[in-house]
Every structure is written in C-alpha cells, then in structure tokens.
Amino acid sequence: MFAGMDHKRLGRTGLKVSRLCLGTMNFGPQTSEADAFAIMDKAHELGINFFDTADVYGWKKGEGWTEQILGRWFAQGNGRRARTVLATKVFGGMGDWPNESRLSAVHIRHACEASLRRLQTDHLDLYQMHHVDRDTPWEEIWQAMEVLVQQGKVVYVGSSNFAGWHIAQANEAAKARHFLGLVSEQSLYNLFDRTIELEVIPACQGYGLGLLPWSPLKAGALGGLKKAAEGRRAGEQAQRTLAKHRNELERFEALCEEIGHEPADVALAWVLHNPVVTAPIIGPRTLEHLTQSLRALEVKLGEDTLRKLDEIFPGPGGAAPEAYAW
C-alpha cells in the first residue's frame, strides 16, 4: 500500500477511509470494464479504500451497469471486498412501476437487495440516500434502514444532496429512535459551487457528518483552461462553463503558476483543506487521472493563497445567517 495515503474517520464514526474517495460513475459508459478493474486495483495499491457508486450509474434504467462491474471485480477475490469501504445509493428510478424509485420502505428494501446482488456482496458499508424524498416520512425511512442494519446488510447510512434542514430533520428523527442516523453527506462542493457553506457544512459540523464533495473539479473545469473540455461534461456544456468563467479561470491559472502547482491539484487541495471534508470524490476515466489526483495530497495552501482563492471564487460569505445578516 502507498505509504503516503492518509486516512480519516468518517464523520463521528470510528470508520477510517482514505482522503480520496474513488467515484465510479464513469465505469461502463466511458471507462471499459477492463480499465475499471485496473483503476480499482491501482486504487487499492495506492491506499484508496473508499469506493462510491450508485444503483443508477451506467444510465441504463434498471440495469445497475456500474454496480455490476464492481461486483465482478470483487468476485475476483484476493481480499478486494474486505479492503474496500463500499458506498452506494438509493433513490433514482430503477424501473417504470410506481415503487421503483424514491425512499419508500418498499423501494429501499428492494433496491438494497438488488444492489447486493449486482455488487456480489452481503453488505453495504455506507448506504446513501441519493436525494431527499419530501413525500416519505422519516419514521418510515428510518424503520426501513434499521431493519437493513439489524439484518447486517447495511452498516452506516448517509445522505446526498440534502439541505442543512434535511440533515437536522433526519438526525433528530433518528435520535428519537435511538438510531445512529446519518454519518455522511455527499454534496456538490468546489471553488465555483460554495452554497453549502451557508447551511450544509454547519449542519455537518453540528451533527458529526463527514462531508464527501462531489464534482470537486467542476466536471474538469478547474483542471485549467487547456484541460477543461476533457471532463465528463465535455462538449457544449463545458464550453459554456469556460465562456462564463474564463476570467476567473485565467486568474486561477495565474495563481497556480505563481505557487508552482497544477490547477487541479490546487482545487482538490482547497476542498481537502476544510476540516469537515472527509474525502472528495474523484471520478477518474483513466489510470493517469487516478494517479494524478494523489498530487493534491501533497499541496499545502498558505493563508495568503487561501485569501486569493476567495477573491477569485467568492463564496457566500461564510455560514448563515452572518453571511447575509448583521
């Protein structure tokens, strides 16, 4: 294992995960199964023990294409599953019938069983709600999750794309049931997208959730102007991002050159600098993308650099309500 990989507790739990989480969204649609296997093997070699996926990844409704790829990789044995902290998600549509999406107790149960079959495992280390379900009461959701935990099919429960209020609602409801509740939140967070600093990050701090930022490089845009169009949203959307934010990106690249680091490394290091962040989710399409990500772990950002980054990419001004009120 790569000696330089740090590991951090996931929120308030005793579980230790790598400071980078391997996101698998590209496995299947953009990365072949053979290449995905090589990336996962290399991740373990580098000390990355935290893998994130979702039942809807692969984008072929109901197939769970990406989960199937992970399952076949685990089936090769040699301790692959035991060494992996495995996270997947539930919410998205897995069929056209009424109860094949969202967070009803029926769908949570069926979706968990289906994920376990595809992943060829008997348990999920972290089962994440992919989105909040405003139509399902927390009592129903937590009862379903409690059963899965009691059955040994789920170890921890997390959220994704929740607001701060949802985190509070969820964990207060869990506390009333004497249940551990949410231990992590997976949110959009990068130098461009800082809205969660208002409410979500304070909620994570208050309730002891580990923050798992997704799209920490803004779909590749923060890799620099030359590399921005290579991200998973390459094409017209990438060009719109470049056109809209060219000035910020030019200033960002100049700052990175000044401090002697690549833009992608600085952007990842900035996310890692936040003490609430457990692990940003990196989504490599190639082995090279994976190994390059490790450079961010060596980047130390001084106060002057952090101040300049705030000038280029101003956030909301801190936590609410001070960010907008006296």
Does some domain include residue 18?
yes
Residues 48 and 7 sit within 8 Å (Cβ to Cβ): no
Question: What are the pLDDT digits (tens) for 189-199?
Answer: 999 999 999 99
**Which residue type occupies 93?**
G
In order, the DSSP letters of 5-60 are --EEE-TTSS-EEESSEEE-TTBTTTB-HHHHHHHHHHHHHTT--EEE--TTTTSS
Question: What are the pLDDT digits (tens) for 262-311?
Answer: 999 999 999 999 999 999 999 999 999 999 999 999 999 999 999 999 99
Does some domain include residue 221?
yes
Does some domain include residue 299?
yes
- Does the pLDDT at position 234 exceed 60? no
Specify the pTM: 0.95
Q: Can you read off the two tokens belonging to residue 58?
A: 């692969």
Residues 22 and 50 sit within 8 Å (Cβ to Cβ): yes
Q: Which residue has the tokens 């994920």?
A: 115
Domains: count for the chain: 1
Question: What are the pLDDT digits (tens) for 55-77?
Answer: 999 998 989 999 999 999 999 99
- Beta partners for residue 300, in sequence order: none
Does some domain include residue 92?
yes
Q: How confident is the model at residue 175 (pLDDT cuts 50, 70, 90)?
A: very high
Does some domain include residue 319?
no
Instruction: Tell me the CA distances in angstroms from 226 to 14, 223, 229, 235, 250, one per residue in order.
Output: 41, 8, 7, 14, 11
Q: How large is the average pLDDT for residues 148-162?
A: 98
**Which residue type occupies 314?**
P
End-to-end CA distance of the chain: 50
Task: Report the 10 Å Cβ neighbour count for 318.
Answer: 13
pLDDT score recorded for residue 19: 98
Does some domain include residue 317?
no
Question: What CATH number is given to the structural domain containing 195?
Answer: 3.20.20.100
Containing structural domain, residue 212:
7-312
Does some domain include residue 119?
yes
Q: How large is the average pLDDT for residues 113-127?
A: 98
- Does the pLDDT at position 224 exceed 90? no
Does some domain include residue 217?
yes
Q: Which residues contact 101 (CB under 8 A, 6 or more apart)?
A: 91, 92, 93, 94, 95, 107
Question: What are the pLDDT digits (tens) for 193-217?
Answer: 999 999 999 999 999 999 999 999 9
Can 57 be counted among the known catalytic residues? Answer: yes
- Does the pLDDT at position 79 exceed 70? yes
